[in-house]
Amino acid sequence: MPSPFSHAGQLPPKQSPKASPSLSPSIHSLLNNPSEVDTPFDNDYFGAPAGQDASSLFAGEGSNGSRKATSPSPTAMPPSALATASPGPVGFQNLLTPDPAHTYGGEAAQRPHKRARPTSSSSSIGSFGTGAGAFDGPNGSRGAEDEEEGAMEPPATRVRRSSSTSSTPAPAPSTPTIPRRSASPTRQNPPAPAPVASTSAARSAPPPPPPAPARRGSLALEPSIFNVEPIDEFTREVADWLWGFCAQLDWNTVEIEAKIGLLVDRNGGMRVNLPVPIETILTDDTGLRFESNMTVNQHKAFNHLLNSRVEESAHPSYSFAPVRYSHTRELDTFHEIPAVQGQPKRKVRVTRDQKDKSKPPVVVEKVRVADMNIFSPKRLFDWRVSVSLEMPAPIPETPPTHSRYKDRISYSHQLFQVDLTQVTVPSSPKPTHELEIEFKRARGLLEEAAKEQRGEENKYLEMVQVLLNNIRMLIRNASNP
């Protein structure tokens, strides 16, 4: 992302946007333009006979560097610096005075045999603007802010060499040679030439090149002035809420899921309209209820979108985590267990597979623990995060109070499972359509939360963030009713 702060009033060149590393370009296009992708949805899901398996449709299932310094303009130099750097007659005192154009942190004291070079009026006094020691701003420019910051000081590890000298420095004599005054006041003897190393020796041991200073424009954008990215408050709130309700429960029976739907007024039955512009966690949902339902067209669109993900991840060239697919048809019956020895009555659910009736039924007692409602005014759906307990139970002897048929397609991806379900109740001729996302193994999430509580390295917040990402990506790609 280019920085909004530029030098000399010019923005740095824009870089082409990069696709998300977690999504291939086709997936990225699909999630942002689902209507433009022509992928057939599962027709069997909505109209296949009870004995037909839709799995045949998916046979393939399964560098920051050092900062550049810039020399100020001559007008920004103090008068003393101007006087020192001005060229003068080559005399005895001038030979003993280090040339400011060749002074780098005491370099003149280390090389007293070097003869002073008078500078011309065309070069900036006290500037390091030419040769190997140039320190430019971003993209070679020198901004006014560099001059004000005193960026003239070069890095201490950089050695400035004159462009007229050899890349191999001549060895300095142990005692500096001081020229004697001539009888004539206008003529002086030049200093004795220093011994020059042989060409073969210079080639055999060249000095290492000075490190190139990094340009400001090449520095990556840091997350803050402290170079730390703050934890997202929304994610932190959901994570703390989950841990607060799950810490003391039996982690083997905990179910953590999220459903999409609408928050409606209990009286009028219309979607609520709250004075907030973006998604918001509700701390008081009095007078509201959550309806986990959508239209048939929206359900088909989600089916189409998720089927496309299955097909794409099954391609041999796909290098990310695969998306698996399964299709089930089940019958749920609900039973009430009378209160015994002061305990309240319980509700038990018995689930039987309608495609393979040889499988034993699954009997659980489901207990709701807590719900968090999130209002999302910019989207077509709101959503809810729920914590429940699903405890194994024996087959009840009491007759069922009611039943329902579930025609469900499940999409499995890493830690999560997305369930797209059509629910039919015998007492209602019109089916409902639901979408929910759950952790396939809630215990793994809570183990990471416990590590965070102990101050150990963990992935708790990252796992919660992926749950929120899945919800947001789905509702942002929902179709109109």
> What is residue 54's DSSP assignment?
G
User: Quick one: average pLDDT of 16-34?
Assistant: 44
- Report the chain's mean pLDDT, rounded to a whole number: 73
**Higher-confidence residue: 334 or 208?**
334
State the pLDDT at residue 339: 84
> What CATH number has the domain bearing residue 257?
3.20.100.10
User: Quick one: average pLDDT of 65-81?
Assistant: 42
State the pLDDT at residue 411: 98
pLDDT of 466 higher than 70: yes
Pairing status of strand 416-424 against strand 402-413: antiparallel
214 contact partners, CB below 8 Å, separation of at least 6: 63, 64, 65, 66, 67, 68
Single-letter residue type at 94: N
Same domain, 237 and 142: no
State the pLDDT at residue 359: 93
Same domain, 133 and 260: no
- Domain membership flag for residue 225: no
State the pLDDT at residue 207: 81
Same domain, 70 and 50: no
Write out the residue range of the structural domain in which residue 173 sits: 66-218
- Domain membership flag for residue 10: no
Give which of 120, 3, 123, 118 is closest to 71, Cα–Cα. 123
Same domain, 239 and 101: no
Same domain, 207 and 341: no
Q: Per-residue confidence at 374, pLDDT binned at 50, 70, 90? A: very high
User: Quick one: average pLDDT of 155-164?
Assistant: 42
Q: Which two tokens stand for residue 456?
A: 């150990």
- Domain membership flag for residue 130: yes
pLDDT of 70 higher than 80: no
253 contact partners, CB below 8 Å, separation of at least 6: 389, 390, 391, 392
State the pLDDT at residue 208: 83
Same domain, 333 and 471: yes
pLDDT of 158 higher than 60: no
Same domain, 350 and 452: yes
Cross-strand bridge partners of residue 290: 263
User: Quick one: average pLDDT of 334-362?
Assistant: 91
d(CA 334, CA 281): 32
pLDDT of 152 higher than 80: no
d(CA 195, CA 192): 9
- Domain membership flag for residue 6: no
Query: What pLDDT digit, counting tens, does each position of 394-433 carry?
Result: 999 999 999 999 999 999 999 999 999 999 999 888 999 9
pLDDT of 480 higher than 60: yes
State the pLDDT at residue 49: 45
- Domain membership flag for residue 354: yes
User: Quick one: average pLDDT of 157-178?
Assistant: 45
Same domain, 267 and 138: no
The proportion of the chain whose per-residue pLDDT surpasses 90, expressed as a percent, equals 51
User: Quick one: average pLDDT of 271-290?
Assistant: 95
Domain termination residue (choose one: 190, 218, 246): 218
Domain termination residue (choose one: 191, 218, 245): 218
pLDDT of 445 higher than 70: yes
Q: Per-residue confidence at 214, pLDDT binned at 50, 70, 90? A: low
- Domain membership flag for residue 223: no
The proportion of the chain whose per-residue pLDDT surpasses 70, expressed as a percent, equals 57
User: Quick one: average pLDDT of 330-350?
Assistant: 90
d(CA 453, CA 349): 35
CA 375 to chain centre: 25
Same domain, 208 and 344: no
Measured over the CA atoms of residue 101, residue 104, residue 109 and residue 114, the dihedral's sign is negative
- Domain membership flag for residue 1: no
218: helix, strand or coil: helix
Q: Per-residue confidence at 148, pLDDT binned at 50, 70, 90? A: very low
Q: Among the listed ranges 136-140, 269-273, 353-357, 456-460, which one has the minimum average pLDDT value?
A: 136-140
Q: Per-residue confidence at 362, pLDDT binned at 50, 70, 90? A: very high
State the pLDDT at residue 221: 93
User: Quick one: average pLDDT of 185-203?
Assistant: 53
Same domain, 375 and 467: yes
CB atoms closer than 10 angstroms to residue 357: 9
The residue behind tokens 């280390």 is 110
Domain termination residue (choose one: 218, 253, 285): 218
Say how many domains are in the chain: 2
DSSP run (H or E) holding 313: helix 296-313
State the pLDDT at residue 352: 96
Query: What pLDDT digit, counting tens, does each position of 115-128 carry?
Result: 444 444 444 434 43
The residue behind tokens 């015998």 is 426
- Domain membership flag for residue 453: yes
Q: Per-residue confidence at 86, pLDDT binned at 50, 70, 90? A: very low
Same domain, 192 and 54: no
Same domain, 269 and 191: no
State the pLDDT at residue 351: 97
